[in-house]
Amino acid sequence: MSDDTVELEARLAEQDAFEPPAEFVEQANVADESIYEEFEQNWPECWERAADLLDWDEEYDTVLDDSNPPFYEWFTGGELNASANCLDRHLEERGDEPAIEWVGEPTDEDDRTYTYEELHREVNEFAAALRDLGVGEDDVVTMYMPMIPELPIAMLACARIGAPHSVVFAGFSAEALATRMESADSEYLVTANGYYRRGDPLDHHEKTREGLADVGHEVSDVVVVDRLGEDDHGHELADGERYYRDLVADHEGATVEPVARDAEDMLFLMYTSGTTGKPKGVKHTTGGYLSWAAWTSQAVLDIKPEDTYFCSADIGWITGHSYIVYGPLALGTTTMMYEGTPDYPERDRLWEIVEEYEATQLYTAPTAIRAFMKWGTEYPDDHDLSSLRLLGTVGEPINPRAWKWYYKHIGDESCPIVDTWWQTETGGMMVTTLPGVKTMKPGSAGPPLPGVDVRIVDTEGEEVEAGRAGYLTVNKPWPGMLRTLYDNDERYVDEYWAEYSDTDSEDPDDWVYFPEDGAKIDDDGYITVLGRVDDVLNVSGHRLGTMEIESAIVGVEGVAEAAVVGGDHEIKGEAVYAYVITEDGYEGDEEMRSRIVEGVEDAIGPIARPEQVVFTPELPKTRSGKIMRRLLEDIANGEELGNTSTLRNPDVVEDIQTKVGGD
């Protein structure tokens, strides 16, 4: 530990509350505490404030239609276009200002700036091209793209013509792409030939083709962005494939009138992991989602048009949708995009970018912060980070030590930190301090945002006392909420509402949303999110279903049974531990271990790669035959085990413990 860290720990260790810096408060978009009271008194009309941030082609007539819970509708009767809201309306005042500052991973190529004018032009051209390919309103267009400007361009082009997009994270496997395209009945794909990762040009074209080969229906068109140029892996275009640049060139100067979409029309689908093996297609709408993304960007991230705002997430996840693309662009600011990883070519890459572009906000994940902490302060210390005004975190709980490190070494004790709790399904932030208003408590996300009704309850739905662990519930609907799961209203009700609602009731007060997180609340109403309570892991802030991983493992030749649990991990938060029983005649050896790891990477992607594969002749089971996952978790974490005598096979425990410990 360096002297500096020792000093920090000594000084900050005891401090558990931090006031927003006065300089920040003076200029904050929201600085008046009365907003909490005001929203409560004036609910749901308070949400007009979010809708007012947008331009509507047709004014809505009702803020909330709650006549058919939990199928809520927001801003009904209203019409708008998301692309026009993110581009056209800024042209007059901000046309020459940067909309996107893109930084590629290689340091020897030119970064790209798109002004609002330029972004508007290219979105129009690509929208025209998509239309000519036959993409119509409500056709789902899948994007399987890395962090290149063509991704937000394609998203906005779709929004312009009323075609919902479904972005699949480029790090996901070919198989994951196929499942998502099939599930969304998507016949169009925009992809790239590759991207750079730690200096290597990755072959994404090949992976795309593998995925397409598994799609059961016909995919009519595939658009390929040539990201690699001379580093391409030598693929010729196949039938049905076209280069993005040719399509755009063919439509040079074309303009497309933005389609007026009903507020409740789908803007996009985003697949996320659930408790079963099948990913869930979360449906977000145009009016409610965009209002939510814009409002939270303004109130929580304190975004102003003149900012250079930097979120280091990938657009393939919801954070990138809401807080790289839609929220910031709706507010007319400059949003940054970075293609690579924070440690390439050196561990100061993010700080170099912040310094060069004079970024005003940084929004990142606790996993990244824990890695920065481990790498040491010399990397940020080498750079001038004084342009930063606000810091944010998202995706997983942040431990107070990492919070304080971030506060001191990145924010120089002069930036508020917003620890934002939300999910793919909520569309945007739900629980966090308002940075210009509320005291910050490291380790606690804070109170729910104004107008958001979150409670911590027990299994009966009764609110628990302060300090006690319970389940987080949302007791009132909100504009950014998912509307349903694609083509599966029943699963929507079952997954999110059944637990705490009276599902026979038509009274919205009887309906409670359950995000499947555990949490506790303190006497000041601050919420500490403890983590998932379902069979979903959170690895580096990414949601992975244990069932998905287990089914990938069971698909490997020679595997009879598998159980996957999360074990604590210093950087990633959680890591995948796989306990595997082999079929007779197969050895649990190195070769088998590699095939299992490969099987998981093929089915899901490298993010789901098991940290440990433990071969065992049996899994610990209760007398009724249920796998004791809690016990497997304790083993993974090297924890003291409680009473195991109720197991059907207590002897197996010691055997597994030895294997995990000795690995």
Preceding omega of 416 cis (within 30 degrees of 0): no
Tell me if 271 contacts ligand PRX by CB under 6 A: no
Burial class (CB in 10 A: 0-12, 13-18, 19+), 625: exposed
Tell me the closest approach of the beta carbon of residue 442 to ligand PRX, in angstroms: 12
For ligand PRX, which is the closer residue by CB, 126 or 422?
Answer: 422
Tell me if 421 contacts ligand PRX by CB under 6 A: yes
For ligand PRX, which is the closer residue by CB, 357 or 421?
Answer: 421
Q: How far apart are alpha carbons 296 and 291 in whole angstroms? A: 8
Tell me if 180 contacts ligand PRX by CB under 6 A: no
Residue the block writes with tokens 């819970």: 69
Tell me the closest approach of the beta carbon of residue 371 to ligand PRX, in angstroms: 17
Number of residues near ligand PRX (by CB under 6 A): 21
Tell me if 269 contacts ligand PRX by CB under 6 A: no
Q: Which of residues 400-419 bind ligand PRX (CB under 6 A)?
A: 419
Instruction: Name the segment binding ligand PRX (CB under 6 A); options: 109-117, 369-377, 421-429, 576-584.
Output: 421-429
Instruction: Name which position in 424, 444, 540, 546 contacts ligand PRX (CB under 6 A).
Output: 424
Instruction: Name which position in 166, 538, 546, 616 contacts ligand PRX (CB under 6 A).
Output: 538
Preceding omega of 515 cis (within 30 degrees of 0): no
Tell me if 394 contacts ligand PRX by CB under 6 A: yes
Tell me if 318 contacts ligand PRX by CB under 6 A: yes
Tell me if 79 contacts ligand PRX by CB under 6 A: no
Cα distances (angstroms) measured from residue 578 to each of 202, 303, 319, 635: 28, 42, 28, 12
Q: Mark 586-615 with x for binding to ligand PRX (rule: CB under 6 A) and - for no binding.
A: ------------------------------
Tell me if 477 contacts ligand PRX by CB under 6 A: no
Tell me if 420 contacts ligand PRX by CB under 6 A: yes
CA atoms 646, 651, 656, 662: torsion sign: positive
Q: Nearest-CA neighbor of 270 among 311, 321, 204? A: 321
- Sequence-distant (≥ 6) Cβ neighbours of residue 164 within 8 angstroms: 138, 139, 140, 141, 158, 266, 267, 268, 269
- Sequence-distant (≥ 6) Cβ neighbours of residue 656 within 8 angstroms: 579, 614, 616, 620, 632, 635
What are the helix (H) ranges across 451-520? Answer: 489-496
Instruction: Name which position in 272, 312, 361, 540 contacts ligand PRX (CB under 6 A).
Output: 272
Q: Mark 428-467 with x for binding to ligand PRX (rule: CB under 6 A) and - for no binding.
A: -----------------x----------------------
Tell me if 314 contacts ligand PRX by CB under 6 A: no
- Sequence-distant (≥ 6) Cβ neighbours of residue 654 within 8 angstroms: none
Q: How far apart are alpha carbons 105 and 505 in whole angstroms? A: 53
Tell me the closest approach of the beta carbon of residue 519 to ligand PRX, in angstroms: 8
For ligand PRX, which is the closer residue by CB, 69 or 515?
Answer: 515
Q: How far apart are alpha carbons 430 and 517 in whole angstroms? A: 13
DSSP state of 506: -
User: From the centroid of its chain, how far is CA 393?
Assistant: 12
Tell me the closest approach of the beta carbon of residue 318 to ligand PRX, in angstroms: 5
Q: How far apart are alpha carbons 164 and 156 in whole angstroms? A: 10
Q: Nearest-CA neighbor of 94 among 402, 335, 264? A: 335
Tell me if 319 contacts ligand PRX by CB under 6 A: yes
For ligand PRX, which is the closer residue by CB, 63 or 452?
Answer: 452
Tell me the closest approach of the beta carbon of residue 421 to ligand PRX, in angstroms: 4
For ligand PRX, which is the closer residue by CB, 319 or 582?
Answer: 319
Tell me if 422 contacts ligand PRX by CB under 6 A: yes
One-letter amino acid identity for 435? P
Instruction: Name which position in 176, 269, 359, 529 contacts ligand PRX (CB under 6 A).
Output: 529
Q: CB–CB of 478/426 below 8 Å?
A: yes
Tell me the closest approach of the beta carbon of residue 393 to ligand PRX, in angstroms: 6
Which residues contribute to the site for ligand PRX (CB under 6 A)?
272, 318-319, 394-397, 419-424, 445, 515, 517, 529, 531-532, 538, 543
